[in-house]
Amino acid sequence: MSNVMFARLGELVGKDVETETNEAGGSQSKLVARFDLIPAVPLFDVAVVLGEGAKKYGINNWQLICTNDHLSHALAHIFAYLAGDRSDSHLSHAVCRVLFAAFTSTKEDDEYSD
């Protein structure tokens, strides 16, 4: 995982995150990210796409592909969906590619900052 991602994770769930106390007196780390707002059902579809991709291309093969290629494929799936093509789960594929692009972009940023 890239240094940028580790730094970001540390801000969200690291040992130095601010604590808060609830009405019952329980204390815990303050969570600024709202994971409870992520819609769960589409993530199941994304997980299916990830499983299919792992079988077809190998686990984590996507990490060997550059950000621009991920974005290009995401757009292809979005445009196919907008054109009315329902022969594939285009939106789930697009979400996967955008997630991949978000990951690889931070990795590429680290490489360029050295």
Residues 13-69: tens digit of each pLDDT: 778 889 999 999 999 988 888 889 999 999 999 999 999 999 999 999 999 999 999
pLDDT cut 70: percent of the chain above it: 89
CA 59/CA 47 separation, integer angstroms = 13
Shared domain check, 49 and 15: no
Shared domain check, 83 and 31: no
Task: Quote the mean pLDDT of the chain.
Answer: 89
Number of domains in the chain: 2
Shared domain check, 63 and 49: yes
Shared domain check, 109 and 69: yes
Burial of 58 (0-12, 13-18, 19+ CB in 10 A): exposed
What residues make up the domain containing 20? 1-35
Amino acid at 70: H
Shared domain check, 104 and 73: yes
pTM of the model: 0.79
pLDDT cut 90: percent of the chain above it: 69
Nearest Cα neighbor of 90 from 75, 109, 105 is 75
Shared domain check, 29 and 59: no
